[in-house]
A and B are shown apart, each in its own frame.
Chain A
Amino acid sequence: MSDTNAKAAPALVCESVTMRFGGLTAVSGFDLRVPKGALYGLIGPNGAGKTTVFNIVSGVLCPSAGAVRLFGTDITGLSPDRVAHSGIARTFQNIRLFRNLTVLDNVLVGLHLRRQANVVEALLALPRHSAEEAQMAATATKLLEEIGLADVSHYRASALPYGQQRRLEIARALATKPAVLLLDEPAAGMNPAETEDLMRLITDIRDRFSLTILLIEHEMKVVMGICERMTVLDHGETIAEGTPEEIQRNERVIKAYLGGGAVVRH
């Protein structure tokens, strides 16, 4: 696809990131350069260390060695809420919505970190808080319209069907106004029609919110269909990096990821 993107300044950089859990090295010497505005894939067999990378980037884990940079700023070892403030939002492999809150409230929680009013102003309903609250409600409603969840905005999150829960997770992440969005297996458990919708949604929000998206995915159709470049992990090591076409032709990838003798049909 586009090589112009690859030459732009990188949004997210991992420099020889290593993560050891006791004797187990989950990720070793991981390098990543995600150009600004890219749709970048991170693939690999089960247990390859993909989610560990996500947890390091989003601040859940502090790497044993190496650095993570967002637009040149070192964010290694920041707590997850600080990472969110700095402009990285994520979704989860197993959906983690605020189940008892409404769809609208879920998105409003995503807007919480950009608040201006302090607790006292909020409790006393002072003008700054009231104005902000009205503005937040408007922003959240608009966001839900764009994602296509406006008509269920007053449902409890747990009452939504699976595909819509995935969408809501993305909407909630977008509410934090991220520069980089991390999607952890967004198509997991979706049927083909929902997957099609999701692919459209992902490319669509990338353009509309001028995002950089890093995506973990098992569904080959999704990764090969929408990602411009990707990195392949196996047993914590990077075995390949390149465009979908290059990856599909890469001997090591086919052997490690798809098993010996497999043929990629696309």
Chain B
Amino acid sequence: MMAERKVVHPALKIAAVCGALVLFFLVLSWGQEHWDAYTVRILNLCGIYIGITLGLNLCNGFTGQFSLGIAGFMAVGAYTTALLTMSPAIKQAVFFIQPLIYPLNSIQWGFLPALLMAAVVSGIVGFLVGAPAIRFRGDYLAITTLGFAEIIRVVFTNIVPITNGALGLKGIPPHTNLLWSWGFALICIVVMVRLMRTTYGRALKAIRDDEVAAEAMGVNLFFHKNLAFVMSAMMAGVGGGLLGNLITTIDPNMFRFPLTFTVLMMAVLGGLGSITGTVISAAAVTVAMEAFRVLEEPRVILGLSIPGVPGMRMVVFSIALMIVILFYPKGFMGDREFSLDRVKRFAAGLSRANTSKQG
């Protein structure tokens, strides 16, 4: 029944992937120049949210550790990157209440080292939070990490000599472009796909399915849970850094719980435990967030004039989330992945169904 499997030479495969990547980034760099600013902004957000949501999914979906601290790690990354990339002159102008402390006020790094530093710092913070918190299970972990994210926000509001307090940072250089944000998304995708094909990825999924059995099989819970937690924090940190340098201004209130909720919604809609689902849903939700802005505008329908209701699109998202939870409790993809084999099998099934109908 099945056709003989065609064996593609590995070198050919690699060449094809490289070609596709080059083409993809050529299109992006062309688009950066030629598409309008609005489109570019939304595409940037798509790339950034794909990476961050994958990070959240690694911890919440693949490892089953329900963490709600993602906004906190994003804040850590955003502030790290911003403080490292702003020029000393701008820092002096922005910090007019209290001057910025010594080493930070006189340095200016490139974007790449700043992002790497954001990954390191949020990874360290992730470990410091994760190591004690990861001993909790289920709701308790969620509450602890949620509390941590709030603590970060309050601390950032109050350490004025470093963060400029509630005024936030302004004039962050707009380094983020399509290449950076989609490069980040791509790296996160590759890391996740790789990780899930290794024995470590299987151990994480084993912890999700049955923690007691995993430990009895020799899986060190502390190490593996922290691995997922720290990697997740690092992805969120870099994503936060890219976000800060995209919108060029950050303040502690940006990183409130609704930000975590948005990322969590992307992961749940796509399917906790599916890389493909996460990518699709993060991009779709980001676009929808903008597209649904029309709902908040005043308009006249059938002679009735309806005033603009700010927050209307969040109502729509809440309803969408409820519908998904009701009809697709595991999200659109569940824990399945998109693969060419699956498509082939699906196509084969369709043609079989057709022939049997005809015959």
B residues contacting A by CB (< 8 A) are 191, 194-195, 198-200, 202-203, 205-206, 208-210, 212-221, 227, 273, 335
Contacts and interface: CB of A to CB of B under 8 A. Distances in A.
B194 A89 contact: no
11 contacts: A81-B215, A81-B218, A84-B217, A100-B273, A101-B202, A101-B206, A101-B209, A109-B202, A132-B199, A136-B199, A176-B218
A226 interface: no
Contacts of B273: 100
Contacts of A60: 212, 216
B209 A99 contact: yes
Nearest to B220: A81
List the 9 closest A-B pairs by CB distance, nearest first.
Answer: A113-B218, A84-B218, A122-B198, A98-B209, A96-B213, A80-B215, A109-B206, A98-B206, A96-B210
Nearest to A130: B198
A60 to B, nearest CB: 8
Interface string A155-174: 00000000000000000110
A96 B219 CA distance: 15
B213 A92 contact: yes
A264 interface: no
Nearest to A175: B217
A58 B216 contact: yes
B198 A123 contact: yes
B200 A119 contact: yes
A99 to B, nearest CB: 5
Interface of A: 58, 60, 79-81, 84-85, 89-90, 92, 96-101, 105, 108-113, 115, 117, 119, 122-125, 129, 132-133, 136, 172-173, 175-176
B218 A123 contact: no
B205 A101 contact: yes
Q: Which of B200, B209, B219 has the most CB of A within 10 A?
A: B209
A85 B199 CA distance: 16
A109 B198 contact: no
Contact of B202 (A80, A84, A108): A108
A80 B206 contact: no
Given A81-B215, A101-B209, A123 B191 contact: yes
Main secondary structure of the interface of B (DSSP, over half): helix
A80 B199 contact: no
A108 B199 contact: yes
Contacts of B209: 97-101
Nearest to A95: B213
A89 B215 CA distance: 11
A110 B213 CA distance: 10
Contact of A79 (B203, B208, B215, B335): B215
Given A80-B215, A80-B216, A122 B199 contact: yes
A133 B202 CA distance: 12
Nearest to A84: B218
Output the residue of A60, A79, A92, A123 with the most chain B CB within 10 A. A123
A112 B218 CA distance: 8
Given A109-B219, A133-B198, A133-B199, 7 more contacts: A84-B217, A98-B213, A109-B202, A113-B218, A122-B194, A123-B194, A136-B199
A98 B205 contact: yes
A93 to B, nearest CB: 12
A97 B210 CA distance: 7
Contacts of A105: 202, 205
B327 to A, nearest CB: 20
B333 to A, nearest CB: 13
Contacts of B200: 112, 119, 122
Contacts of A97: 209-210, 213
A79 B214 CA distance: 12
B107 to A, nearest CB: 29
Contacts of B218: 81, 84-85, 110, 112-113, 176
Contacts of B195: 122-123
A100 B199 contact: no
Contacts of B219: 81, 109, 112-113
A172 B210 CA distance: 13
A109 B216 contact: no
Nearest to B211: A96
Contacts of A110: 217-218
Contacts of B206: 98, 101, 109, 112
A129 B209 CA distance: 24
Contacts of B194: 122-125
A96 B195 CA distance: 24
A198 to B, nearest CB: 20
Nearest to B195: A123
Nearest to B205: A101
B205 A176 contact: no
A170 to B, nearest CB: 12
A100 B216 contact: no
